Structure 1
Amino acid sequence: MTRRRFLAATGLAGAGAFLAGCGGGSQSPGAEPAQGDGGASGYEGPNVELAFWNGFTGGDGPVMQQLVDQFNSEHPNIAVKMTVMEWADYYQKIPTAVQSGNGPDVGIMHIDSLPTNAARNVIVPLDDVAEALDLKQEDFAEVVWSAGEYEGQRFGIPLDVHPLGFFYNKTVLESAGLDPESPPTDRQSYEAALEQLKSAGVQGHWMSPHVFTGVLTVEALVWQFGGDLFNADGTEVTWAEDPAVEALTWAVDLVRNGYSPTDVGQDADAIALQNGQSAFNWNGIWHINTLKEVPDLEWGVAPLPNIGGTQAAWAGSHNFVLPRQRSADENKQQAARVFINWVSQQSLAWAEGGQVPARNSVRESAEFQALPEQSALAQQVDYLHFPPPVPGIGDVLADFNQAVNEAVLLTKEPAAALSEAADRASKKLEENRERYGG
């Protein structure tokens, strides 16, 4: 998955409003989720074809297609047909398709999309699948497991985790007299390295004002400084409090102190690292595959430096979902669960495509540890953060995105930008509670 395609997936500030017009809180007649064995016993019914929709248009697409092909070869009475589209199109199409009775049998959703789609009955509970897979909280990092639940029911079967990581250009570090094999790990060493790079004529960390990667960087910093974006149940905005102000101020000071250019363009921070114009870039795990394609580039990746005193990092996650069907087809319901069950057990193959497996056992395996870049970022799994499981949370976070943009572009002071954004977002939270019945 490339950054640009992931941006399309998570840039849907208006998705909540769109979903609000796709049915209320009651379930459709005849669309109750199956209460069988979740696919554990396999499928021995008549031949069925399953429509499987996702947004894997990047390098992860061929990996998933290989898994689908393997599944089909091992299950002659189930034919899974995978349809791939841009994530933005996917999230626009699936509610309408479900409402009209033409939705897919299986889908993939990002973790922050589950609550909104669950609240609007676009997807059905998967507790039976979790039970069939014998999935338990102790099998996963707590944040991964709990994020797939909404109002006491499980709506997502976690496939992977894709965290933010610390990428560095070894050649640039060495040319500035820094150890290319020992990147900074905390605030003191990070700021010292930036100062040494500046003395060598290098702006070491290009601070982006855009969601990718500036906003994700600031979100990680807020958690590192001991703050949060919302309270525990997602009913109040907390990003105007001191830890968030301190975090955003640190990011803005990268520009003010000359460690970053002003007005960094979209993706310019990533390109600067590749071109040797900067040394550091906080970017997503999807950046690994991009850097591997750059000839003769000497680079490394590590967990995010701990700037604020608390280990923390932003992350997303892909989850399997079952879209609601207007007319129940027990054969397809069982076959779909068999498919999810099977792919969930192939997470090492999926990791090789550039992801961190959701399962603890796979992350801890020797085979996964042999993937140096992915395993480096997997070290962060116990302190990753997701948005709270609240419907319409993407609409609310759009205000935080705006605050970061204004502050990094030096058009507003960090405290003022965050405070004004929090006021707007608080109103949205209240409106969403009415809209989604929370």
Structure 2
Amino acid sequence: MLHGSPGSSARPPHTLTARGGFGRRSLLKGAGALGALGALAGCSGASARASDDIAFWHLLSGPDGVTMGQLLDGYMAEDGASRVTQTVLGWGAPYYTKLAMASAGGRAPDVAVMHAARVPGYAPGGLLDEWDLDLLGEFGVVQSDFPERIWEKMVVDGKLLDIALDSHPFVMYYNTEIADAAGQLGTDGLLLPVSSVEEYREQLLALGAQAPSGHGLSWGYLGDGSNQWRMFCTYYTQAGGTIELPVGGTMQYQEELVVQTIEYILSLIDGEVGNTAHDGGTAISEFATGGSGAFYGGVWELGNYKAQGVPFDMQVIPGVLGKPAAYADSHSFVLPHQSAPDEARRRGVHQMVAYLLKNSLTWAGAGHIPAYAPILEDPGYDDLLPQSHYADAIDHLVYDPPAWFTGSGSDFHTYFGNDMQNVWARRVEPLEGWNAFVARINDLLGKPSPM
């Protein structure tokens, strides 16, 4: 039944860290208050800069920031390349607020990074300009270079408003030594495939029997609305569920599939398969120390587990409720609105983004799946392990339903966590928590977008 009313870890690692070695690029780390926006925007004022000086805002720090810096250094070493001045801001709502204010105030940077799921919230307000596909084509990037699902997410209301650099899905990690001891590895060295809820439970219990903690699966949810939503969305989509968020209407969903999904997730944190009360940190630690057989999380944990020396591999979460699904978002490039953009500088932005896409094999090292499909066909990507083992997630990506309040780090995720955490803790019935969440979303649907 379709319903339209309540009656019917972990976050990506964008915490700012100190780092050096950025050469010609200037780095501004995390302006705190919105009052600092005027100074930030002044750095990107078109009148103060040459046409070959690109102002680039993004929220990539830590290892991602270092990798982006290396890629930009490579671009700036090219003949005819522009100079790129980076401004790195803190991850989350403050970044998106500053970006919106800069666009509305006529002080926008030339290019910025946004999560793809946040773009629909900016498009109606005219805060983003369109990309020129013909101009990208001059630099060797065309529509057919992107998988269909990613291309669809790049086009909003018929306009090409973002260019995806990657997708970063919610996937399954598994300890290969524990899996081997449990007899769950095939002759190819990969986890044995399963095709039903019952087979998967037996597999996870077998992993748990060989794991020091006794848990076949680690998943952190306490205090983490985003990770709760990633898990729910993955399995709800597997089961065939859909969600629509019509402006001025009510949330549309399938109640019977909601209940099925919630009950299945509860079966994975029942004290037998997995711990009944993990937060992001304890789940990560349990797997990182070799304590559990498997872990559900974002691909961005890959570097951490490699550094810890964990023997692991990765795959798409098995589609035991239906077809496989991989909840995801994408780091995407956008053109914050400028009333009179410098044509030469905008051409340089297209050139820069084309370079980054065509050299995103380096970006894949952090775990992200490149959105530029030719990279996935590169022999070098096949040699990238375990990244190439979950590359098929690109065929099963699921993004947040479009609305001005959805996307990475959004209120949508926060509200889901607030209302569903007691469901996972078995303090309230599934529909009690779900209906409270739906009521909050219906309230947001009745409000105009602040953008």
Conservation of the 8 A alpha-carbon contact between 1:163 and 1:314: yes
1:427-438 → structure 2 map (5 Å cutoff)? 427-431=443-447, 434-435=448-449
Q: Is the 8 A contact 1:207 1:251 kept in 2?
A: no
* Structure 1 residues 26-59: Cα deviation after superposition (integer angstroms, max 9, x where no partner): xxxxxxxxxxxxxxxxxxx975311111111021
Question: How far 1:153 sits from its partner (Å)?
Answer: 0.6
Name the structure 1 match of 2:416.
400
Structure 1 window deviating more from structure 2 (143-152 vs 91-100): it is: 91-100
Distance 2:308 2:220 in 1: 22
Question: Aligned to 1:115, which of 108, 120, 128?
Answer: 120
Scaled by the length of structure 1, the TM-score of the pair is 0.82
Question: Secondary structure of the residue that 1:399 maps to in structure 2?
Answer: helix
Corresponding residue SS for 1:52: strand
Does the 8 A contact of 2:51 with 2:342 survive in 1?
Answer: no
CA distance in 1, matches of 2:368, 2:449: 35
User: CA contact under 8 A between 1:119 and 1:391: conserved in structure 2?
Assistant: no
Structure 2 counterparts to residues 22-421 of structure 1, below 5 A: 48-75=52-79, 78-88=82-92, 89-128=94-133, 129=135, 132=138, 137-176=143-182, 178-179=184-185, 181-186=189-194, 187-199=197-209, 202-209=214-221, 210-211=224-225, 213-230=227-244, 236-239=250-253, 241-295=255-309, 297-393=310-406, 394-421=410-437
On the 8 A contact 2:168/2:330 being kept in 1, the answer is yes
Deviates more, 1:197-206 or 1:66-75: 197-206
More off after superposition, 195-204 vs 71-80: 195-204
Opposite residue 415 of structure 2, the aligned amino acid is D
Whether the aligned pair in 2 keeps the contact of 1:357 and 1:363 (CA below 8 Å) is yes
* Distance of 2:450 and 2:371 partners within structure 1: 29
Q: Is the 8 A contact 2:302 2:366 kept in 1?
A: no
Q: Please give the alpha-carbon distance, in whole angstroms, between the structure 1 residues aligned to 2:247 and 2:236.
A: 18
After alignment, is 348-357 or 278-287 more displaced?
Answer: 348-357
* RMSD (Å) for aligned C-alpha atoms: 3.1
Amino acid at match of 1:189: E
SS at match of 1:97: helix
Instruction: Name whichever of 314-323 and 96-105 sits farther off.
Output: 96-105
The code of the aligned residue for 2:257 comes to P
Q: Is the 8 A contact 1:127 1:155 kept in 2?
A: no
Instruction: Give the alignment of 1:1-12 within 5 angstroms.
Output: 4-6=11-13
5+ residue gaps, structure 2, are 1-8, 17-33, 38-48
Q: Is the 8 A contact 1:139 1:360 kept in 2?
A: yes
Match of 2:269, SS state, is helix
Provide the C-alpha distance between the structure 2 equivalents of 1:298 and 1:234, rounded to a whole number of angstroms. 50
Cα drift, residue 131 of structure 1: 5.4
Using the TM superposition, give the Cα deviation of residue 120 of structure 1 relative to its aligned residue in structure 2, in angstroms. 2.5
Cα gap change, 1:436 to 1:213, in 2 (>3 Å): closer
More off after superposition, 131-140 vs 408-417: 131-140
**Sequence identity (%):** 25
Distance in 2, matches of 1:227 and 1:374, equals: 28
- Structure 2 CA distance for aligned equivalents of residues 140 and 218 of structure 1: 27
Amino acid paired to 2:390 = L
What secondary structure does 1:74 align onto?
A: coil
User: Aligned in 2, Cα 1:386/1:421: closer, same or farther, shift over 3 Å?
Assistant: same
Decide which moves more: 47-56 or 255-264: 255-264
| Native 8 Å contact 1:218 1:404 kept in 2 | no
For residues 381-423 of structure 1, what are the alpha-carbon distances to aligned partners after superposition, in whole Å with 9 as ceiling and x for unaligned?
1111112333222434443333432211222222221122123
Deviations 1:91-123 (A, max 9, x none): 232222233333211111111111112223322
Provide closer, same or farther for how the CA distance between residues 46 and 184 of structure 1 changes in structure 2, counting only shifts above 3 A.
Answer: same
**1:213-241: CA deviation from partner (whole Å, max 9, x where unpaired):** 33312210111111123379996534561
Aligned length: 400
TM-score, scaled relative to structure 2: 0.79
Return the alpha-carbon distance in structure 2 between the equivalents of residues 159 and 185 of structure 1.
30
Q: Which runs of 5+ in 1 are unaligned?
A: 10-18, 23-44
Question: Could you tell me which amino acid in structure 2 is paired with residue 230 of structure 1?
Answer: E
